[in-house]
Structure 1
Amino acid sequence: MFDSPLSASAYDVLGVAPDADDEALRRAYRLRLRQTHPDTGGDAAVFIQVQRAWELVGTPDARAAYDRGHGFGERAAPEWSGWRAPAARTDTRPRARSYGHPGGWRRERYLDLIREWAGRGVTLEDPYDPALVRSAPQHLRRLLADALAEEETARIVADLGMGYTVWHDVDASGRDADPDAKVDHIVLGPSGLYGVLSEDFGGPVRVRRGELLGDGVTGAPIATLVARMRGLARAAGVRFSGAIVVLPDDDVMQVIDEIGKVRGTPVAVVGRSALATVLRRGITGARAMGGNEVFDVRTRLQHAVRFA
């Protein structure tokens, strides 16, 4: 819940300062429980956040560990690495074919803009320092959060095995489109060809009339994904089986939500833990592919795909 650069800290959720003493923290927790309890008219999602916040900082040992990892006060430790690029993988099992750099475009944008925001001539020893990230403008934290979301998806789809091919950070800009437009991932396998959007809005998200709604949601993410997929399909001469939006498990009402068709494309909104399951079995209404067709589609995409 609080590992995202966009998420409120445990202290924000409880309504106390990070240096509050243990008794003040306990009082704040009890107050927030009363204020948010669903039986008294509170918001169930916020009530769960309050409970989770207490789990993270409610005991001295838990609080010390939390503060070390999130850059609060004297407890902060320089070895925190949760927002850095993932370490090299040592597992040697066969993996999906993978092309492109997941999260790379947004990582580069974040690094450029965080240095610009810090000021000319300022040398940032660590652009991923938790205290620095927490103080950065929301649009910078959003870039980092989305990069992390794309990297998480990449790790999941890589473990699908040799029968799958994945393209990351695919350029979807057209003559009349946003020059920065892209599709986060294209996944091809026996269950079909899918366009995948990896997102982290920093809080709960719901679906209404085929689109995502939530405090952190801007624009029309599903409609935009489907439109970009249609452009790529025309360019490559292929047909997508469906679209998948991947969100943190804590931010979805159910881990697999097949919402029907958007502009003729079957769409599913899924929590990260269910992504592999959905890609292996497919989406209801999506067309599976035989071996020869998978080979043909892969060849067409290899010739057509450009990276952001």
Structure 2
Amino acid sequence: MFDSPLSASAYEVLAVEPGADHETLRKAYRLRLRQTHPDTGGDAAVFVQVQRAWELVGTPEARAAYDRGHGFGEAPAPEWSGWRPPAARTDTRPRARSYGHPGGWRRERYLDLVREWVGRGVSIADPYDPALVRSAPHHLRRLLADALAEEATARVVADLGMGYTVWHDVLAAGRDADPDAKIDHIVLGPSGLYGILSEDFGGPVRLRRGEFVGDGVPGAPIAELLASMRSIARAAGVRFSGAIVVLPDEDVLEPIDEIGKVRGVRVAIVSRSALATVLRRGVTGARDIGGNEVFDVRTRLQQTVRFA
């Protein structure tokens, strides 16, 4: 919750300055508990955030570790797991066939724009330094958050095994397609063919009439995903079984929320930890793909897919 480039810091959740003394911090925590408690009309999701924030900064030891890791201390930690590329994998089990570079387009865009924001000719020791990222404009932090979300999803689908094929960062097809429109992931397996959007809005969001709504929601993410899926389906001559939107675990109330059909396509909103379960069993009511059809669909997509 607090490791996303878009999420509020523990201090922002508690409504205090990072330099506040412990007694001020403790009073702010108790006040925020009263303000956000569901029994007094508060938001349950924010109430949980307040408790989590106190766990992170409520003791001197925890606060010192949090400050170092998030750029509030005098010197950042030498390695900060939240915004770093994953470590090299040593697991040798068979993995899903994978094509493309998950999060690559957005990471490259972030690196270009953060250097432009800092200033041409200015050396940046670490473009992922927590203090630097925290101070960056919102659109830069969103690029990084989305790149990290795509990379996290890619790690999940890779572990599905050899029966699955996944394409990452797939450009929408067709002459009329938006040149920047893409599908984060396309996953083909026995349970079906799915278009997947990996998102991180920096906190919980609401659904209204089959679309995300809220101040942190850019555009119409579900509608844009479905439009890109339609373009690929037409170009490759395939049928998608459904669409899946993956959110961080702490940003969903239910790990799996199948919201029914949106524009004729079955859509599920799932937590990252529940994604493998959904892809193995399929979205309820979605069409399975088996036998020779899997090979036919894979061949068609291989001939059609272009990467961002």
Q: Same fold (TM over 0.5)?
A: yes
> How do 1:31-42 residues align onto structure 2 when only pairs under 5 Å count?
31-42=31-42
Give the C-alpha shift of residue 81 in structure 1: 4.3
Give the C-alpha shift of residue 75 in structure 1: 5.3
1:177 and 1:290 map into 2 onto residues whose CA distance is 30
Identity of aligned residues (%): 85
Aligned to 1:148: 148
CA deviations 1:37-60 (Å, max 9, x no partner) are 122222222111111100111111
Amino acid at match of 1:170: V
2:84 and 2:173 map into 1 onto residues whose CA distance is 28
2:85 and 2:73 map into 1 onto residues whose CA distance is 25
Work out whether residues 7 and 203 of structure 1, in 8 Å CA contact, stay in contact via their aligned partners in 2: yes
CA deviations 1:243-283 (Å, max 9, x no partner) are 00000111112111111111211110111011000000001
Give the C-alpha shift of residue 153 in structure 1: 0.2
In structure 1, runs of 5+ residues without a counterpart are none
Q: Which SS does the other structure have where 2:267 is aligned? A: strand
Aligned to 1:242: 242
**1:52 maps onto 2:59 in alignment:** no
Aligned to 2:200: 200
Aligned to 2:294: 294
Aligned to 1:223: 223
Work out whether residues 19 and 73 of structure 1, in 8 Å CA contact, stay in contact via their aligned partners in 2: no
In structure 2, runs of 5+ residues without a counterpart are none
Work out whether residues 188 and 294 of structure 2, in 8 Å CA contact, stay in contact via their aligned partners in 1: yes
2:54 and 2:8 map into 1 onto residues whose CA distance is 13
CA deviations 1:86-114 (Å, max 9, x no partner) are 12111000000000000000000000000
Give the paired residue count: 308
Give the C-alpha shift of residue 218 in structure 1: 2.1
1:199 and 1:80 map into 2 onto residues whose CA distance is 21
Aligned to 1:13: 13
Q: Which SS does the other structure have where 1:82 is aligned? A: helix
> How do 1:99-248 residues align onto structure 2 when only pairs under 5 Å count?
99-172=99-172, 174-248=174-248
**4+ residue segments displaced more than 2 Å:** 75-82, 173-177
Aligned to 2:79: 79
Task: Output the TM-score relative to the length of structure 2.
Answer: 0.98
2:252 and 2:209 map into 1 onto residues whose CA distance is 16
Amino acid at match of 2:160: L
1:81 and 1:270 map into 2 onto residues whose CA distance is 23
